[in-house]
Structure 1
């Protein structure tokens, strides 16, 4: 997890633009430490997408500090 840049808390997803075939915003659904989420992956402008994390989701998974490891599974693209 990171806590700087355009979003208060976010996860950088290396290689996402190659997997998704775009550098644009993409709506996705999946799990974060086993908890379901729906979000829009935001382009970083440098290649990978950022997954912004809402404060409520951070609270649910019990993580909110930069550098904490989070298990992310993107299960479907919804856009």
Structure 2
């Protein structure tokens, strides 16, 4: 079993908006996340979204991936809306 916290250094870009249960949620989906994290369960990380620091959990999408919530408050800070692309950098895995 892996020990945490563990440093990471991965960056990806994705549009805000993940379809969950036929609704668009204000999240970004990480490509190949299950293979990367080694689990389909929630994973807590330290990250930046367009350079804004964030500590949050990647949640399972229900379709075999993970998504990171982008709150209305964070979207306002970023000046982004649903459909806009953000850059996510993961620097540490906490769980």
Using structure 2 for the length normalisation, give the TM-score.
Answer: 0.74
Greater strand percent: which structure?
Answer: 2
The number of residue pairs the alignment matches comes to 78
Which structure has the greater CA radius of gyration? Answer: 2
Large movers: runs of 4+ above 6 Å: none
Whether 1:27 aligns to 2:39 is no
Supply the RMSD in Å over aligned alpha carbons: 1.6
Q: 2:89 aligns with which of 42, 58, 73?
A: 73
5+ residue gaps in structure 2? 1-15
Give runs of aligned pairs for residues 1-79 of structure 1, distance below 5 A.
1-2=16-17, 4-5=19-20, 8-65=25-82, 67-79=83-95
5+ residue gaps in structure 1? none
